[in-house]
Structure 1
Amino acid sequence: MPQTVSIPLPNSQSAIVLAGYQEENLKVLSRQTGAVVVLRGQELFISGEADQIALCRQLVKSLDSLWSQGKPIDRADILTARQALDTQRQDDLQSLQRDILARNRRGEEIRAKTFRQRQYIKAVQTHDLTFCIGPAGTGKTFLAAVLAVQAFLANQYERLILTRPAVEAGEKLGFLPGDLQQKVNPYLRPLYDALYEFIEPEKIASLMERGVIEVAPIAYMRGRTLNNAFIILDEAQNTTPAQMKMLLTRLGFRSRMVVTGDLTQTDLAPQQSSGLAVAQKILHHVEGIAFCNLTQVDVVRHPLVQRIVAAYEHQDTP
């Protein structure tokens, strides 16, 4: 027989973060448990069958360390909590919620949202070369940039190098205005955006003028040895095998490199092999190299992104 229970929340801020933007979190809780979840003031009402209510209460309780302190909660947090309940990993979940990777310029906490993201972070911290492969919205580039900036600001590396191939996704570089640097800047925009989360724009400009931070197309890396640097290669699926080999062999002493990409979004010509796919095949068992694979479960952007990724994966399945 359907019943209703309530959970009192300590303050209005807890209610706000638990509900989420436009009460999206309550909708996710409802979809995950089958219960009807309604917030009235500072009290959460859960209605449904006994097992639905029990599961919903468990989920809410597993997020207590976040909402009780007014920390933002989103769909990824709820899905990870559900995964933890299903796999008996509640202790791992608590650790995941406690581990703060960094704080951006606005003081917002940056942390892994999923267990695979946490594995990715640990891999980068313990390997000189890490590959991360996964769909859009899984935090591949952002988390790599966070780790790079934190290590750079802690003086662990002298330089921060962010690079990606300037491959057109439907446009032609020749028709864009400006010189070569201005033409490729749109392709490097996501890397700039990650930097701006942690370093004042004026300071970034100064560091770039001094060559301490370098954001450049992969072609600029040829013939160099990158010592004492943290290097990120983004959009690696758009490298050719020769470009990938060239960059990987630039890795110098006291340096660390992270290679990120999505093999489902290759903009190369149909007959051209992806350097990322070739590297995954050749280097998968090489000692000292970490490979991390993120999936649609790890998408931490707008909820629609995960559904879009899932739809495309379904369409591509033979």
Structure 2
Amino acid sequence: MERLIETPLLKFNPNTLEEVRKELNLHQAGVLDQMIANFEEWISKQNHFTRKQFGRHYLETSIVLGKGSLERAKKTLDKLCTLKTLLPQFFTKHDAKNELVDSTSFAIQATMPRLTKDNYRVYCVKLASSNFDSTMLFDFHRFAILMSEYVKSNDYSHGFVCVLDCRDVNIVNVVTKINVLDLRNSMSVLMEGYGMRVKGIHIISSSKMIDTFVSLLKQVISAKIANRINVHATVEALHEHVPKDILPQEYGGNEKPLREVHENWLNVLSQKENVAFFREICKAGTNEKFRLTANYNDQILGMPGSFRTLTVD
């Protein structure tokens, strides 16, 4: 019987595979095999792709995060490959431990190991200080992208519930130091490129200035996701929306402290085989002169710094 392979970073519920497939109408015999075969055939015909080989799990998670739609999965993969060419600055570092600046003095981030009962993954960020520079912030984005590549190849879920702890920082100082364009591009890579479905964003803060931060977030995400932002004054209020048993210890949960979970991610992402994989998969871009103009995605044309003015032979 087919089963999911757990990793040191990602655990699953006993029936995750069956439940996710059933909810997306992918559970009938042969359905996924045919979709993946069609996906692979489509990829082989994309002359502008610089890479044609993607693992089966990579393609299946693309379909799952596309709510079971092969067409949506195709568009997402095309978008991701295009963004790797369009925004190369996010994909140039592959060794989290040896190439990225340690940004944990500014913010600690980690995807939690256990799923919610409805098979969503919890991603936590704790803002620790408003004392950070542009390099630290950019490598924070890069770390999130390396996590996303790992998730794409190893996870199986409906998407993410995001928890953002802002209790220990001056919100105004943080907002004034964030590069909005970099944040917008990073969110585009994560949500549009990797197809990360976000069930909800839960911000913990009692600051009267939290609306300033929420307004900033709404500038860089879709209106649909913006409507899923919730602000909680206390951790106890968060527990009404996110199961506390799968949260880090400092949030009343049963998991390891967030910094320790982050360290686990740092160590695994920096393993030789994972660094080698990141180096290769980040080359999966596009050569725009080979793209068929009839298939040009208008969403890509709207990206900042896009190929809008590029002449395609």
Is the structural similarity TM-score above 0.5? no
TM-score of the two chains, using structure 1 as the length reference: 0.31
TM-score of the two chains, using structure 2 as the length reference: 0.31
Greater C-alpha Rg: 1
Larger RCO, structure (CA 8 Å, separation 6 or more): 2
In terms of fraction of residues, the more strand-rich structure is 1
